[in-house]
Chains A and B, each alone.
Chain A
Amino acid sequence: MQSAASFDIRTRSGKRSWTTLLGWAMAVVVLGWAWQGAEMAPSLLFQNAGNMATLAADFVPPTFGRLDHYIDQMLVTLQIAIWGTLLAVLFAIPFGLLSSENLAPWWINQPVRRLMDACRAINELVFAMLFVVAVGLGPFAGTLALFVHTTGVLAKLFSEAVEATDAGPMEGVRVTGAGRLEEIVFGLIPQVLPLWISVSLYRFESNIRSATVLGMVGGGGIGVSLWETMRGFQYTETATIMLVIIVAVTLLDMVSQRVRKRFI
């Protein structure tokens, strides 16, 4: 009896080692395939090191003559991120609830999820180019681009939080004769709110980073200056812009992280 059991275990672990080996082999194949597709050539880095050094030298010293202008532009970037994120949060709440398996039947949650997938799959820059056509050059196009893409991201994160909740508190509200929406407001939202706030703030942080390049396609903000100075070979100006971005993003990340920690 006992020997039979240990034999059973041995065959099982044997099976497992085979599947493990197969897994590793697959991983190696995928890595090789991707290496080829990405045309990875580390040697080029060293061969052309001289060019890079020349280019890097052009960036120093940064010139601070137009610093005021760049700071203004950075503030516009921040403003884009604020509204882009806020609108996204407001829309992601209903969409997130509707794409949750425990709240909506499949014929609602599946279409809504696909719609959110589409919003998420397309990059902010692409949306910005589309919105530039619709509303013209400027920050508003950038804001709309961030809004649509972020709605897709947040709706997914929100609904994952919803699906991980305990059904008990909602049942507790249901048995009092309250309606479905009241169940959500009093039984569900209190459970997910800290996480929702936290992921929204995290998205705000990454939206500030995303907003710095929206200007490159006409979406307003500091990306406009970034693009123009680079195209005009004014690399010392570009260096100043990069410094402004680094300082601003670091500061805002720190502030947002502080706030986030209070909600977890």
Chain B
Amino acid sequence: MTAIVSVERLDKSFGPHAALREIGFEIHAGELVTLIGPSGSGKSTLLRHLIGLSRADRQSHSLVRVLDRDVQRGGRLLGASREQRRRCGYIFQQFNLAGRLSVLTNVLVGHLGAMPRWRALTGRFTQQERDKALQALERVGIVALAHQRANTLSGGQMQRVAIARALVQEAEVIFADEPIASLDPRSAREVMEILQRINREDGRTIVVTLHQVDVARRYCRRAIALKQGRLYYDGPIAGLTDARLQALYENAGLDELESSRQPGHRIAPPLQAVG
């Protein structure tokens, strides 16, 4: 099984503050993995590194590979990052849509990376591209809103637009950064169900950061937990017992890390690094 995402010894500091320390793991095709941890634990920072929106520390031995290509090595972005981004979908907590453009146009943006430059810049989308965008909207259940301005939508609807955009991209892997943190419980459930469906039906790999444990338990089979910038747990979601969770969310020290590793859990390579 090839790794879709592989992270080795990722270090990131903001000034003197270490945001991520020696993070390492692999994610395989077809997985639906949650990155979980209290706020400030580095989940979002980690996710931004996977697509090259953030760079690791310069002096580190960090390596991030996604879809068999180096995204960054030692804090340097590598290769055709545009082409790389086209193959990855990314969903933000704050949706990041262009509010004054129509829902349809926001979804059509997913085509831009694969379009000839002159058509992209003038916004000349073909009928085929439009149809595909409408199909994507159909799948996320808001095709009726296609011609509304994006800023007239509710949070849950906006997040579906963002997912439709990733669908249009035909992204092989989707990174979702706190996709439900700004949503009400019902919208949150709907968004998670859509992500789960994309994972099951299309076989797309999905990495989603969450901070609600119950949601993670319901939708994800594997959890990677971060605490204070370090890998705290990596294994089946069932292994994230109440006791461990309590320790994860408590202000407890990192001693817990060692004991959380048990045989049978799929733990990313440089094990010795943590703790």
The answer to whether A171 and B121 touch (CB under 8 A), given A176-B113, A177-B87, is: no
- The stretch from B36-44, B89-97, B195-203 touching chain A is B89-97
Could you say which residues of chain B place their CB within 8 Å of the CB of A40? none
Contact present for A177 and B84 (CB under 8 Å): yes
The answer to whether A179 and B117 touch (CB under 8 A), given A173-B109, A191-B100, is: yes
Could you say which residues of chain A place their CB within 8 Å of the CB of B90? 175
Cβ of B85 under 8 Å from chain A: yes
Contact present for B121 and A182 (CB under 8 Å): yes
* Complex partner residue of A172 from B51, B86, B162, CB under 8 angstroms: B162
Contact present for A177 and B113 (CB under 8 Å): yes
Within 8 A of B (CB), among A180-230: 181-182, 185-187, 190-191, 193-194
Contact present for B112 and A171 (CB under 8 Å): no
Cβ of B73 under 8 Å from chain A: no
Contact present for B165 and A177 (CB under 8 Å): no
Cβ of A65 under 8 Å from chain B: no
Binary A-proximity of B66-95 (CB < 8 A = 1, otherwise 0): 000000000000000011111111101011
Given the complex of chains A and B, what is the CA–CA distance between A129 and B112 in angstroms?
48
Contact present for A177 and B98 (CB under 8 Å): no
Contact present for B109 and A176 (CB under 8 Å): yes
* Nearest CB of chain A from residue B94's CB, rounded to whole Å: 5
Contact present for B112 and A186 (CB under 8 Å): yes
Contact present for B94 and A168 (CB under 8 Å): yes
* Nearest CB of chain A from residue B84's CB, rounded to whole Å: 7
Contact present for B97 and A171 (CB under 8 Å): no
Cβ of B273 under 8 Å from chain A: no
Cβ of A34 under 8 Å from chain B: no
* Complex partner residue of B53 from A169, A175, A186, A194, CB under 8 angstroms: A175
Contact present for A179 and B120 (CB under 8 Å): yes
Contact present for B51 and A169 (CB under 8 Å): no
Contact present for B92 and A186 (CB under 8 Å): no
Centre residue among A175, A178, A186 by max chain B CB count within 10 A: A175
Cβ of A174 under 8 Å from chain B: yes
Contact present for B82 and A177 (CB under 8 Å): yes
* Nearest CB of chain A from residue B93's CB, rounded to whole Å: 10
Given the complex of chains A and B, what is the CA–CA distance between A147 and B121 in angstroms?
27
Contact present for B51 and A175 (CB under 8 Å): yes
Contact present for B92 and A171 (CB under 8 Å): yes
Contact present for B85 and A174 (CB under 8 Å): yes
Could you say which residues of chain A place their CB within 8 Å of the CB of B112? 173, 176-179, 182, 186
Cβ of B3 under 8 Å from chain A: no
Identify the closest chain B residue to A169 (Cβ): B98
Contact present for B123 and A190 (CB under 8 Å): no
Contact present for A179 and B109 (CB under 8 Å): no
Contact present for B101 and A190 (CB under 8 Å): yes
* Complex partner residue of A186 from B82, B86, B101, B117, CB under 8 angstroms: B101
Could you say which residues of chain A place their CB within 8 Å of the CB of B228? none
Cβ of B99 under 8 Å from chain A: yes
Given the complex of chains A and B, what is the CA–CA distance between A104 and B92 in angstroms?
25
Identify the closest chain B residue to A174 (Cβ): B85
Given the complex of chains A and B, what is the CA–CA distance between A168 and B51 in angstroms?
15
* Nearest CB of chain B from residue A206's CB, rounded to whole Å: 27
The answer to whether A190 and B100 touch (CB under 8 A), given A175-B85, A176-B86, A182-B121, is: yes
* Nearest CB of chain A from residue B262's CB, rounded to whole Å: 36
Could you say which residues of chain A place their CB within 8 Å of the CB of B92? 168, 171-172
Binary A-proximity of B164-183 (CB < 8 A = 1, otherwise 0): 01000100000000000000
* Nearest CB of chain A from residue B105's CB, rounded to whole Å: 8
* Nearest CB of chain A from residue B51's CB, rounded to whole Å: 6
Binary B-proximity of A73-102 (CB < 8 A = 1, otherwise 0): 000000000000000000000000000000
Identify the closest chain B residue to A186 (Cβ): B109
Question: Interface of A with B (CB < 8 Å)?
Answer: 168-169, 171-179, 181-182, 185-187, 190-191, 193-194
16 A-B residue pairings within 8 Å (CB atoms): A172-B96, A173-B112, A176-B86, A176-B112, A177-B83, A177-B86, A177-B87, A178-B113, A178-B120, A181-B121, A185-B121, A186-B101, A186-B112, A190-B98, A190-B100, A193-B100
A168-B94, A172-B162, A176-B113 provided; 8 other pairs, C-beta below 8 A? A169-B98, A171-B92, A172-B95, A177-B86, A178-B120, A179-B112, A186-B109, A190-B99
9 tightest Cβ-Cβ pairs between the two chains A and B: A177-B86, A177-B113, A172-B96, A178-B112, A175-B90, A177-B85, A168-B96, A190-B100, A190-B98
